[in-house]
Chain A
Amino acid sequence: MTVKLQMLVAVLAAAAVAGPAWGQQPAEDWQARLSQAELRGEAAAALDDLGRAIEADPTNPQLLALRARALDARRHPAARAAYERALSARGLAAAGRERILRRLAALDLIEGDRTSAGKRLSQLAPPVALAESSGARKVPTGEVVIPGPMSGFSRMAALSPDLPETDILTALSRNVVTSGYQAVSGSESLEQTEYLKLILRYVSQARELETLASPDKILKIEQCESPRTGELLRILGFRMRGGCGSEVVLETVNASRAFLTIDSGFPIAGLEQALRSNRVFEMDYKPTRVKVLYGPEYWLSAKEKFSGELIDAFLGDPALCRLYLGIVKLDPETAEQVRKTMPVARVRAFAHVFDFFGGMLRLKDGKAVVPGGQRSAAAWSELAGASPDKGVEFIEKLIMKDDGWMASYFDSLSRIEGPVQDYLTEPERIKRFYTALRGRVTSPGPARPVFRSNTDLMLLTTRLRMAGPNQPHLPGGLEVWKNLFVKHPQGRYDGKLTKAAAGWKEPDDLLEALFGLSRKAVENEPLKIFLSISDIERRRGAPIAAPTVDRLARAYRLMGSQYPLFSESPSLSDASMIRFLDAAEAISKIGDNVEKANTAGTMQALAALWQVLCRQKLIAEQDSDAVFSAIIEPFLKAREGGPLFDAGRSGVAALLKATGSPEDVNPQDRMIDLLTGSPTTEDQQTLAELRADMLRVFEAQKLVSLKVIFDLADHLESLSRGERLNAALLNRLAARVSDLSLPKASMSAQERNATSFGYWTERHLEDQRKLNFRAVIDKAAGDAGKLKNARGLLAPILRDTLVGLLYVHYAPPGAQLLYTNPLFARSHDFIGIQGAHQTWRTTEVLGSGWPSSAGGRLVGSLATLPYALAEAEQNFLIPTREQALIWGDLVPQMLVSAKLPRWWNVSGAQMHFLALHLRHGEDLLAAAVTSPELRTQVLDLLDKSVAPVRLRRIANELAEADLRAAIEDVTPSEFYQLGRYAVERKLSLPGGFGSSISALAAADPGRLNHQALSDAFGTPKPTLANTMKPQLLNLRTFPTLMGYSSRIMAESWESNNLFFAALADELRIRPSELNLRIPEWTQRTVEQIFATHLEDWPALLRSMRIIASQARAEARKPAAAQQKASLE
């Protein structure tokens, strides 16, 4: 507890003793008491006390208002009634009355009740009128007609049924562009994919069915025996088997038609049932009308000689779809200007650039808004060939320039802000760095491939560090980087840059080179090195010395994947990093692959365990470097056998000692306890549940406990001193490893040939299975040396246990593989494919899809084990929505973000502090409905994280008092940022949540601040920030990117943990329970997602909100039942 907090507690405690009884205290004291109770995690009890005080003084308006606000802070369902009660209390001050009325109006608007909100606002003095929902600000739209019901078309086109009407054509266009066409082999033309062919056939079938429907578009079959029935069945591809009546069965007669019928979800079972029971079959078969921006004419004008329906135009023309996508991405006012000014044919020609890089373009007062503002306008003018003051003309030039490279540059610089943007948008630099980026050959541009290919450019501009104003931070100084380019360790990076590097004099020279490399998809290693080492150094107290940076840079190709380890502890010394590299390089030189795998596996596992224990603050920061060093040191010399075993054992001992474990502790139990979390937590139930889960995985993997391994090693030592054999101990080991048989015995020869664990893995498994310690001991015949050396046979077993403990720790929610394949952890392949040098590379999943392997396994180092495990297990999650698939790259990151952080050290006050930020953000949005001035300020703050097109939509929604829609358009992390920036700028509402945030922050500044929340509720970002350490970066959500698909997008998505922690606060769940709840809620969220495409994060948001509603209902069910029982 901080000194300040202690003082506050003491003051309040004294007040409690000396002051009047709580029931007689003024509201200000209650405010302080509630605030204090939040800090102590006793808010619920304080609120109960307040309730009792109100019972004693039931008409006290201040107390009633205070209680209502406290309930509202946690979204309690009783908050509204509490406000109403306070409002009706006599003596409520005018200011208090206004606050309550406004808050109630906001709650009404959130529920979509405009009438009630309007009434409340009309009671204000002076009355406030609610803006009418005129739709005047909305962009003009028309309709596109899709035959048949939307549900059928959605299924065929793989569109989420939850899509808002306005987004359907956008989503369809995206799917047509990405999945509708494929290149014809040996030609530049495109052909339709099976996906698109089926949609087209479905549309045709739906039109046939429409003709069968009545004028009011109802498909109706009144009796089984009728020509109409026959015609319907013909269109559907079915026929009746058996005569009309109870025996009738529908069966396929035309497979392709029947396929469309079933795949589109036509109620064929219902039709069959109606025919069997001679009931009338009715189906609403009205065509679906979907919104199309600007109406059909604009889009059809982009086509020549087309006379069909608009939907056919979209389905038949990927370029038209791309045009639609490009325009939809634009801020509506900008789009409108583009539409009016640019010929549609020209927009269409650059639709791909608009689509990928148009999202940040914006016109304001007819001028283009450019990164760097007025200062940089001239530079942009020079680059683009038109002044930003000329609005659309500038945009047109920018988009057309260099096949999209300039637009991608503009987009990247628009996404950042602050000192980095100031530095990069200095006029001369804008031109210089763009010239480097552009290069000599501009084709193919970054918008040509399926994904944006400017990944490294975005990473460079986002992750660049500044040492001071206009001074980029160069790890190790400029000389290191000059040398890297000049004396390149693995061949020349770039001939031109190598030559230029000799003359570099200032940081800009290096940055210019990095921009030049950022356009490359390959051979851009120096850029990756720069970003990686910058990230290691980011949170360190002292900079890394130049020689160390040099060593790290030169070892990057082989060891770069290991570098996130170095960013785990800010006090890790240069010497320790060098020692790790020395040991790793020594291990790489081991010729025997079995020996190499065991040594690398053991050292990596120990380092990864150190990483976990540091992250969980079980190893003190001041000890972390010494412990790391102690773990790694023995591996500088250790080789197979006894020394390797000793190195592993001493590493375990170092970890146990550093975590304050007693010397005689059971190492297995203690390690499990440590990995579970905080052995000192008061929440023993959560701890026990987590521990039980971990033990289940450990058992399922048939791993040998550390205790058995070490006891056996000690016993060998005893035997060498002539002591008697302990057969029971030997049997314990034998019982564990005897079951490790490969399934090959039961297979045919052909299967055996096709099935492979990988040669080195099989040897590893076989060696253990065949291990017979009794025979070894007998063979030693009492020879002390041989007996002692026999401990080396335990080294592979120790490796598996250490690796397995990490598998246990990172087991993702919903895991199945870990419980089913007992060889999964043991099969971890540290050698990998021959020639791939995977020992130190990222962890990868290999062998999915039978019969190419004996089940999947993980290959490579342990560097990205949490992600790889989640990737391996993700397809065992069961979508609750038909057709929904698990979202490849996004889901593993979501699972890792839910599993890797632990919340043992988080306080209830921190959780509430976070929740208040989200509430504050929402509160400001609500207040912005009725205050245009505040709206401008709020939108300015949201502009830091929300894309222009969405910002404009939110602005319109607020202006039209559609608060519910506006709230749904803002992500939890954006709400958090809005709340945070508002507090920083002292943008607060009288009596609002902002004042509670300030009060809490003042009471415990050490723990209630952004950095603490970032540590507590952030997510690991191994790709984006080269570290597993959870953190909040508050970036705009990234798009999908070449080489990473949705992975970086997933890392930039920080809403889940923030949202769920705020939910837990609302439901008064203890922070320690987040260790169970967040993985569970995340799993349910994943299973609930129905996304349409890879950037469909709104689908994720919808899913989270559904899970939250379910969690609220579950949590409040007992309370509701109790209430009902008491009433009865």
Chain B
Amino acid sequence: MKKRNKILILTALLTAVLALAGVLAAQQPVFRIKVDMVVLSFTVTDGRGRYINGLKPSDFRITEDGIPQKLTTFSEGSRPPLRVLDNGATEPIATGPGEAERGGISTDALVGTNVFVLFDTSNYMYRGFVYASDAIADFIRGLDRADSVAVYTFSRNLSRAAPLSRERNEVLQGLRKAVAGDESALYNALLLALRDAAKVPGRKVIIVFSNGPDSASMVAPDDVRAVAEDEGIPIYVISTSDLNRDPISTGVFRRLSARTGGKTFFAKTWQKQVEAFEAIREDLGNSYTVTYYPQPNPNEGFRSIKVDLVSDPGKRLRVSARPGYRPRMGS
């Protein structure tokens, strides 16, 4: 039997994708997913870079390798996701209390964004360590209440300084107890953060706060990028290095973020770092998230995703989304 036809109860192992399909009747709501569900987050901006809000599912046409896709859910910013009906209309998804205990997940878990902050505490960040900590603390304080946030730190190894939580004080305590380390294994840490994020239901992003050099990773950045693409997790990078100081890291950061639907910011000063975080926060609050089951497609390699705005025939608006993904084996 192909996995595509296998309906599985959402478990930690399968939560690489947002779990909203297969919603049963409202009286007995249990969320179930197919393992190949795709989660896609994107922003829409005008020519001046201003976010365009209030668009509806029917405003979008999403294709994979040119094949039109049928949306399952739709959400904007931190609002709860809506179920997309066959006629393009939407309806709320409701769950009863204790859903998670019964093997499903509550809608609450799907509201907001799960933000994983990956904080470089290696020797390379020694001088900027405390300012970075301040900037991250400000970012955490300013997140939407619906968002959950985790702080991971890394030098040679990863440390889960503050696990994913909506309790800001707990997260800040974890952040403020970060210990300065030695070597930097940025891409190892990013991979591990992605693996953790992939287990969480709902929308998630990773924000890397680093100045770039990596002295200890065993995994190559492009292998990590491929994992992020496949899991549908945007990577935002705030580099505390100058734009032109380390062209190779610059190139890698840009590729990582662009290919996953995130952005890269070069912010050497504390003020720039605060601005970068503000921009990310805006991105999160103004993005759209849709889910869908891919239509039959013989391509088992990289599938390109395209988001067109039906309501913008003149192409005046710009959609920023990840360019595609590789389907899971067996899907």
Interface residues of A (CB under 8 A from B): 155, 237, 249, 251-252, 255, 258-259, 262-263, 265, 267-270, 272-273, 699, 735, 738-739, 743, 746-748, 750-751, 754-755, 816-817, 820-822, 845, 848-851, 853-856, 872-873, 875-879, 882-883, 885-886
Please measure, in the bound complex, the distance between the C-alpha atom of A743 and the C-alpha atom of B133, giving whole angstroms.
Answer: 34
Question: How far apart are A742's CB and chain B's nearest CB, in angstroms?
Answer: 9
Q: Is the CB of A854 within 8 A of B247?
A: no
Please measure, in the bound complex, the distance between the C-alpha atom of A495 and the C-alpha atom of B276, giving whole angstroms.
Answer: 69
Q: Is the CB of A268 within 8 A of B176?
A: yes
- A821-B188 contact given A875-B157, A879-B159, A882-B177, CB 8 Å threshold: no
Q: Is the CB of A820 within 8 A of B219?
A: yes
Which residues of the partner chain A approach B255 to less than 8 Å between Cβ atoms?
746-747
Q: Is the CB of A262 within 8 A of B178?
A: yes
In the A-B complex, list the 9 residue pairs whose CB atoms are closest, starting with the nearest. Answer: A855-B220, A856-B218, A743-B222, A258-B130, A269-B176, A269-B173, A849-B215, A850-B214, A883-B179
Query: Is B129's beta carbon under 8 Å from chain A?
Result: yes
Q: Kindly state the interface size class of chain B when it binds its partner.
A: 35 or more
Query: Is B237's beta carbon under 8 Å from chain A?
Result: no
Please measure, in the bound complex, the distance between the C-alpha atom of A252 and the C-alpha atom of B222, giving whole angstroms.
Answer: 36
Q: Is the CB of A820 within 8 A of B191?
A: yes
Please measure, in the bound complex, the distance between the C-alpha atom of A882 and the C-alpha atom of B173, giving whole angstroms.
Answer: 13
Which residues of the partner chain A approach B223 to less than 8 Å between Cβ atoms?
743, 820-822, 855
Q: Is the CB of A850 within 8 A of B176?
A: no
Which residues of the partner chain B approach A850 to less than 8 Å between Cβ atoms?
186-187, 214, 217, 220-221, 252
Query: Is B251's beta carbon under 8 Å from chain A?
Result: yes
Query: Is B25's beta carbon under 8 Å from chain A?
Result: no
Question: How far apart are A641's CB and chain B's nearest CB, in angstroms?
Answer: 30
- A262-B133 contact given A751-B251, A751-B252, A883-B179, CB 8 Å threshold: yes
Of chain A, the residue at the smallest CB distance from B196 is A878
- A249-B251 contact given A876-B188, A886-B156, CB 8 Å threshold: no
Which residues of the partner chain A approach B185 to less than 8 Å between Cβ atoms?
849, 875
Pull 30 A–B residue pairs with CB atoms less than 8 Å apart, ordered by A: A252-B131, A252-B134, A258-B130, A259-B130, A262-B178, A267-B176, A269-B172, A269-B173, A739-B301, A743-B220, A747-B222, A754-B248, A755-B220, A816-B191, A816-B192, A820-B223, A821-B219, A821-B220, A845-B218, A849-B183, A850-B220, A854-B220, A855-B223, A856-B219, A872-B218, A875-B157, A876-B188, A876-B218, A878-B158, A878-B160
Of chain A, the residue at the smallest CB distance from B182 is A885
Q: Is the CB of B251 within 8 A of A748?
A: yes
Of chain A, the residue at the smallest CB distance from B251 is A748
Which residues of the partner chain B approach A262 to less than 8 Å between Cβ atoms?
129-130, 133, 176-178
Using an 8 Å CB-CB cutoff, how does the interface string of B122-150 with A read, 1 for contact, 0 for none? 00000101110110011001000000000
Which residues of the partner chain B approach A265 to less than 8 Å between Cβ atoms?
177, 179
The prevalent SS among residues of B at the interface is: helix
Please measure, in the bound complex, the distance between the C-alpha atom of A134 and the C-alpha atom of B37, giving whole angstroms.
Answer: 69
Please measure, in the bound complex, the distance between the C-alpha atom of A855 and the C-alpha atom of B172, giving whole angstroms.
Answer: 33
List B residues 215-274 near A (Cβ within 8 Å): 215-224, 227, 247-249, 251-252, 255
Question: How far apart are B274's CB and chain A's nearest CB, in angstroms?
Answer: 10
Which residues of the partner chain B approach A699 to less than 8 Å between Cβ atoms?
329
Question: How far apart are B34's CB and chain A's nearest CB, in angstroms?
Answer: 20
Please measure, in the bound complex, the distance between the C-alpha atom of A856 and the C-alpha atom of B185, giving whole angstroms.
Answer: 12
Please measure, in the bound complex, the distance between the C-alpha atom of A267 and the C-alpha atom of B179, giving whole angstroms.
Answer: 13
Query: Is B300's beta carbon under 8 Å from chain A?
Result: yes
Query: Is B58's beta carbon under 8 Å from chain A?
Result: no
Question: How far apart are A3's CB and chain B's nearest CB, in angstroms?
Answer: 50
Query: Is B21's beta carbon under 8 Å from chain A?
Result: no
Contacting residue for A851 out of B138, B218, B252, B301, CB 8 A: B252
Q: Is the CB of B175 within 8 A of A269?
A: yes
Query: Is B195's beta carbon under 8 Å from chain A?
Result: yes
Please measure, in the bound complex, the distance between the C-alpha atom of A262 and the C-alpha atom of B227, giving whole angstroms.
Answer: 33
Query: Is B109's beta carbon under 8 Å from chain A?
Result: no
Question: How far apart are A794's CB and chain B's nearest CB, in angstroms?
Answer: 23
Which residues of the partner chain B approach A878 to less than 8 Å between Cβ atoms?
157-160, 192
Using an 8 Å CB-CB cutoff, how does the interface string of B182-223 with A read, 1 for contact, 0 for none? 110111100110010000000000000000001111111111
Which residues of the partner chain B approach A882 to less than 8 Å between Cβ atoms?
159, 161, 177, 179
Please measure, in the bound complex, the distance between the C-alpha atom of A878 and the C-alpha atom of B150, giving whole angstroms.
Answer: 15
Which residues of the partner chain A approach B159 to less than 8 Å between Cβ atoms?
878-879, 882-883
Question: How far apart are B8's CB and chain A's nearest CB, in angstroms?
Answer: 16
Contacting residue for A249 out of B138, B214, B222, B329, CB 8 A: B138
Query: Is B23's beta carbon under 8 Å from chain A?
Result: no
Query: Is B53's beta carbon under 8 Å from chain A?
Result: no
Query: Is B169's beta carbon under 8 Å from chain A?
Result: yes
Q: Is the CB of A885 within 8 A of B156?
A: yes
Which residues of the partner chain A approach B134 to less than 8 Å between Cβ atoms?
251-252
Q: Is the CB of A746 within 8 A of B222?
A: yes
Question: How far apart are B247's CB and chain A's nearest CB, in angstroms?
Answer: 6
Contacting residue for B157 out of A258, A259, A263, A885, CB 8 A: A885
Which residues of the partner chain A approach B249 to less than 8 Å between Cβ atoms?
851
Question: How far apart are B131's CB and chain A's nearest CB, in angstroms?
Answer: 6
